[in-house]
């Protein structure tokens, strides 16, 4: 077992601790309330394609990108035969999509893995999102570290807490990082990137936001 984000994540999805179960339900319902049969939707960091599979029946088209070849292989298996989906091996910082392609861009917790590149990713999202489109994303919240550690403890390769107060963690084998955010931190990041929050919900370990360009 390699200690890559997708491996770690797939273990969590298969056997989610209680706080993650709450998150998965909230995430699905929030997204469902923000899409329609007209939506052209992008999932950034689509992993195994779990979200795309569940929500493809509710949108016109669901596209996924992930920068891990193994994730793309997994998602191609899971999404085989679903007509309105496409997945691409691509990095969120620079995609092949034309300007203003998507009605909805979604990121499920992957925002916590971007580290220093988060502003480049936000700038790319701004480019490919329609002017009235929605950018919806979830993050680990400021209290999430103990729930996160419940899942991290089992991983081959181990992890290092770089800053406990900020919830900044590095996975030792591949140096991937994961962080967590308060609502104020997200507000300030979005403000700098040119987005405004329309709606948000929170649970024990997460915040989920719907935002627009502005
Ligand atoms: C925590 S998993 C979430 C998977 C999926 N969103 C889900 O909820 O099941 C993070 C995924 O994001 C991908 N990822 C991380 N950084 C990325 C980037 N810069 N561009 C594209 N994908 C990325 C990883 O390869 C991994 O599959």
What confidence score (pLDDT) does residue 4 get? 62
Residue 10, ligand 1, Cβ within 6 A: no
Atom of ligand 1 nearest to the CA of 68: 25
Burial class of residue 18 in the structure, from the number of CB atoms within 10 Å of its CB (0-12 exposed, 13-18 middle, 19+ buried): exposed
- With helix as H, strand as E and coil as C, how does 104-133 read? EEEEECHHHHCHHHHHHHHHHHHHHEEEEE
Residue 67, ligand 1, Cβ within 6 A: yes
Residue 9, ligand 1, Cβ within 6 A: yes
The set of residues, in sequence order, having a beta carbon less than 8 Å from that of 41 and lying 6+ positions away, is 35, 55, 59, 61, 62, 63, 102, 103, 104, 105, 106
- CA 24 to centroid of ligand 1, rounded, Å: 15
CATH topology of domain 5-143+182-213: Rossmann fold (3.40.50)
Smallest CA separation from ligand 1 atom 12, residue: 45
Per-residue CA distances from 73 to 2, 47, 57, 88, 158 (Å): 16, 9, 21, 10, 25
Q: Are strands 40-44 and 129-140 parallel, antiparallel or unpaired?
A: unpaired
What confidence score (pLDDT) does residue 128 get? 98
Q: Hey, which residues does 129 pair with through a beta bridge?
A: 102
Residue 12, ligand 1, Cβ within 6 A: no
The low-confidence residues of the chain, meaning pLDDT below 50, are 1-3
Mutate to test the pocket of ligand 1, among 21, 41, 47, 62 (most ligand atoms within 8 A of CB): 47
Nearest C-alpha neighbor of 87 from the set 74, 99, 100, 98? 74
Tens digits of per-residue pLDDT, 99-115?
Answer: 999 999 999 999 999 99
The DSSP secondary-structure symbol of 57 reads G
Q: Are strands 206-213 and 129-140 parallel, antiparallel or unpaired?
A: antiparallel
The DSSP secondary-structure symbol of 91 reads B
Per-residue CA distances from 56 to 13, 35, 105 (Å): 19, 10, 14
Smallest CA separation from ligand 1 atom 10, residue: 110
What confidence score (pLDDT) does residue 3 get? 47
What confidence score (pLDDT) does residue 1 get? 36
């Amino acid at each position: 077992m390699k200690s890559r984000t997708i491996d770690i994540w797939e273990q969590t999805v298969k056997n989610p601790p209680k706080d993650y179960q709450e998150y998965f339900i909230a995430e699905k319902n929030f997204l469902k309330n923000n899409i329609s049969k007209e939506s052209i939707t992008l999932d950034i960091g689509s992993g195994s394609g779990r979200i795309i599979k569940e929500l493809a029946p509710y949108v016109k088209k669901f596209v996924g990108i992930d920068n891990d070849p193994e994730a793309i292989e997994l998602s191609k298996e899971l999404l085989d035969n679903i007509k309105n989906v496409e997945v691409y091996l691509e990095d969120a910082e620079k995609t092949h999509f034309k300007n203003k392609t998507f009605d909805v861009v979604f990121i499920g917790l992957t925002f916590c893995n971007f580290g220093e590149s988060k502003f480049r990713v936000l700038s790319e999202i701004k480019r490919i999102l329609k002017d009235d489109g929605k950018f919806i994303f979830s993050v680990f919240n400021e209290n999430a570290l103990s729930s996160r550690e419940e899942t991290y403890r089992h991983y081959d390769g181990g992890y290092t807490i770089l800053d406990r107060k900020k919830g900044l963690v590095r996975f030792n084998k591949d140096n991937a990082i994961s962080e967590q955010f308060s609502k104020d931190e997200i507000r300030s990041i979005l403000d700098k990137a040119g987005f405004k929050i329309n709606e948000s919900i929170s649970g024990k370990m997460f915040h989920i936001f719907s935002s627009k360009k502005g």
